[in-house]
Structure 1
């Protein structure tokens, strides 16, 4: 009987052949049931991560990001792709220094440093992708695609969203469609404290988990933090955007409000489905703040 907390034998054999040694294996998955990540440690104590993507699209996005954009962040600031297997939807990644901010107890000054560096790294990532040809068309359609998903999310959320909240979400989706063209970028797609690493020893930040990376409006990368940490810590918003090198334009700020509403409804669907109370609570709080008019 296969141990579900261990990689499949064929997958582990592939990783061992690639690394040139049989590694020890430790489960490093997130609590969600679709997360499959293992820490591999060689006899030399060098660590790697073996990750199986939940879906082919996520595998393709992360592979593209790690090959063509993430290297722009610099050494130790993002994993390097050692090998990939389309057959297994598997990625073999180098380890980078630090632990997720969500797992650390930091001083306010350290948090500010981490978010400032995180913003600077996002600026590098945003500039790294070649936004031309079909990629430009993909990026230009990203906000329209987000607005188009509103009705599906509302239907799936059901009675978790009140009638007043449904109307607000629909209104903001229509406002999103009416916005002028916004700055485009190659975005991380899941930029929040679970994926922002901080090394206390090095005083260095790094980003992981690029499976949602894509060409889109640059502002879309700030939605998770706007719906999460920034709600209580405006100083971290300031630090992140200082690192990013510019503030959001008025049009981007309005887009952020609209996107926050769509993100909240989506999270009210996926939070319970993935049994992730953090995501569900973030969504509920965002909608409450939007109804009260305090998320502007």
Structure 2
């Protein structure tokens, strides 16, 4: 199958910008998920391989990706755990990164391998340790945001909605320490290349509590696999989770997943979000 031309996937201004950086780059493959307007392209520029990422004007993920790579991924790149940002343009909403060989963890034997989780814990600690801030209104803002999210279209049952609303409204927000976080730390954003784990996709980068990057794993791969959680904590160095705030964090994670995936039509991810909510709400 013939790969699409760059001109078929980007606008004229973006193509001109990419050519000015890379010369006559060609598209090796389109690696986009296809659920949103985010494009992820594997490019070949005279034998050198790159990943190009872009998104539409209303999509904030490319801005977060650029912020992450410009300020916080260097420590990972220097350790060979993330790609280096080579070129970027805010005006054209473009990021060009080194291509990282490897296969996605999800769906392979690496997804449930303790060594993968140990390496992921170590990589996450490198990211988190770079900076810490105190966020006084963080939890209050999130409570308001997720109460509004409940009003959007979704397939969460009415009784579950009442439970969620009651938990949010009864919770007393407090000041929290926040660090640079990935926002979607899980095997579908980990590559493995000859046994070494690497991290991709910083489109949900933001400052959050460190434990927020534990949320997806705790409700997915770690369920029924305590050895994976133990390996991850060994790599990370300690457990930053606190009981009540941790439950609220998992609740927000499940709700955000269920609503977003319903809106973009990703039924398998929606089912995952609904299960995350059920697991959190049914836990004593």
TM range (shorter): 0.7 to 0.9
Aligned equivalent of 2:198: 206
* Aligned equivalent of 1:84, options 88, 93, 109: 88
For residues 174-199 of structure 1, the C-alpha deviation after alignment (integer angstroms, 9 at most, x for no partner) is 46534x54442111111111111111
CA RMSD of aligned residues (A): 2.5
Preserved contact between residue 76 and residue 96 of structure 1 (Cα < 8 Å): no
Structure 1 position 56, deviation (Å): 5.8
Structure 1 residues 284 and 24: CA distance shift in structure 2, 3 A: closer
Q: Say which SS state the counterpart of residue 177 (structure 1) adopts.
A: coil
Q: Say which SS state the counterpart of residue 288 (structure 1) adopts.
A: helix
Higher mean C-alpha deviation, range 46-55 or range 113-122 = 46-55
Aligned equivalent of 1:149: 145
After superposing on structure 2, the runs of 4+ consecutive aligned residues of structure 1 that deviate more than 4 Å are 2-5
Structure 1 position 163, deviation (Å): 3.5
2:114 matches 1:112: yes
2:72 matches 1:63: no
Structure 1 residues 285 and 64: CA distance shift in structure 2, 3 A: same
Q: Say which SS state the counterpart of residue 34 (structure 2) adopts.
A: coil
Preserved contact between residue 138 and residue 175 of structure 2 (Cα < 8 Å): no
Q: Which has the higher helix share?
A: 1
Structure 1 position 32, deviation (Å): 1.1
Preserved contact between residue 264 and residue 286 of structure 1 (Cα < 8 Å): yes
1:230-249 correspondence to structure 2 within 5 Å: 230-249=222-241
Preserved contact between residue 172 and residue 261 of structure 1 (Cα < 8 Å): no
Q: How many residues are paired up?
A: 278
Aligned equivalent of 2:43: 40
- Structure 1: gaps (5+ residues): none
For residues 80-131 of structure 1, the C-alpha deviation after alignment (integer angstroms, 9 at most, x for no partner) is 11111112211011112322211433385xx2111111111111101123x4
* Aligned equivalent of 1:264, options 233, 237, 254: 254
Q: Say which SS state the counterpart of residue 88 (structure 2) adopts.
A: strand
Preserved contact between residue 147 and residue 168 of structure 2 (Cα < 8 Å): no
Preserved contact between residue 140 and residue 184 of structure 1 (Cα < 8 Å): no
Q: Say which SS state the counterpart of residue 88 (structure 1) adopts.
A: coil
**In structure 2, C-alpha distance between the alignment counterparts of 1:5 and 1:192, rounded to whole Å:** 32
Structure 1 position 274, deviation (Å): 1.1
Q: TM-score, normalised by structure 2?
A: 0.87
**In structure 1, C-alpha distance between the alignment counterparts of 2:44 and 2:246, rounded to whole Å:** 41
Q: Say which SS state the counterpart of residue 149 (structure 1) adopts.
A: helix
- Structure 2: gaps (5+ residues): none
**In structure 2, C-alpha distance between the alignment counterparts of 1:24 and 1:57, rounded to whole Å:** 24
Q: Say which SS state the counterpart of residue 106 (structure 1) adopts.
A: helix
Structure 1 residues 24 and 157: CA distance shift in structure 2, 3 A: closer
Structure 1 position 259, deviation (Å): 1.6
